[in-house]
Amino acid sequence: MIRVEAVEPIENYQLKVRLSDGRQGIFDMKPYLEIGVFQELKDTTYFRRVQAAFGGVVWPHEQDLSPETIECKMRQEVLSV
């Protein structure tokens, strides 16, 4: 089962994510910002409080995304060797 091991907020409401299988990528939160509980994430100070927990990503007021959603929608980074 894939888990989010690390998450870092970056510019333009995006998250830099590392998964348990070693893949890394960018997850764009902009499409979610007009949906219910995710509207609070428009506050950039609050948005930056994201954490990896319970296998996915979470914010203090219980907004969360599953590892399956992250894995499916993230743009993978090309890592140079």
Amino acid at position 14, single letter: Q
pLDDT at position 11, please?
A: 95
Q: Domain 4-76's class?
A: alpha beta
* Cβ atoms within 10 Å of 16's Cβ, excluding its own: 15
Tokens standing for residue 2: 């894939």
- Model confidence at 19, pLDDT cuts 50, 70, 90, reads very high
Q: What is the 3 state secondary structure string of 13-63?
A: CEEEEEECCCCEEEEECHHHCCCHHHHHHHCHHHHCCCEEECCEEECCCCC
Phi-psi region of 9 (alpha: psi -120 to 50; beta: other; left: phi over 0): beta
| Tens of pLDDT, residues 38-78 | 999 999 999 999 999 999 999 999 999 999 999 999 987 65
| Tens of pLDDT, residues 29-42 | 999 999 999 999 99
Would you list the domain boundaries of the chain? 4-76
